[in-house]
Amino acid sequence: MASKLFVGSLSWDTTDQSLQDFFAKVGTVVSASVVFDKATNRSRGFGFVEFSSDDEAKKAIDQLNGQELDGRKINVSEAQPKTDRPRFERR
């Protein structure tokens, strides 16, 4: 298992800091980031949290999946590697 987690169903109000603070309850957070849309600079509703160990990441999934953060129930799972996909070409 990897120590990087995917966090879905985030509130528009969730920040990197609030995400980090929420996950710090279960272990040592190395990084926490909310993904933003480049065009609108608005949250895309998901983010990533990285822990210092696989055990802490598993504990976070077990304890925080389905919990409420900033008024929304979040989904926490192991992050999957980014896959290559064709780039969208504008005409």
Q: Where are the domains of the chain?
A: 4-78
Each residue's pLDDT tens digit, 66-84: 999 999 999 999 999 888 7
The answer to whether 19 touches 34, Cβ cutoff 8 Å, is yes
Residue 32 bridge partners (DSSP): 49
- Count Cα neighbours of 42 within 13 Å in the Cβ-side half-sphere: 4
Q: What CATH architecture applies to the domain 4-78?
A: 2-Layer Sandwich (3.30)
pTM: 0.88
pLDDT at 83: 81
> Could you tell me which residues come within 8 angstroms of residue 77 by beta carbon, excluding any fewer than 6 positions away?
5, 6, 8, 61, 65
The answer to whether 79 touches 4, Cβ cutoff 8 Å, is yes
- pLDDT average, residue stretch 32-46: 96
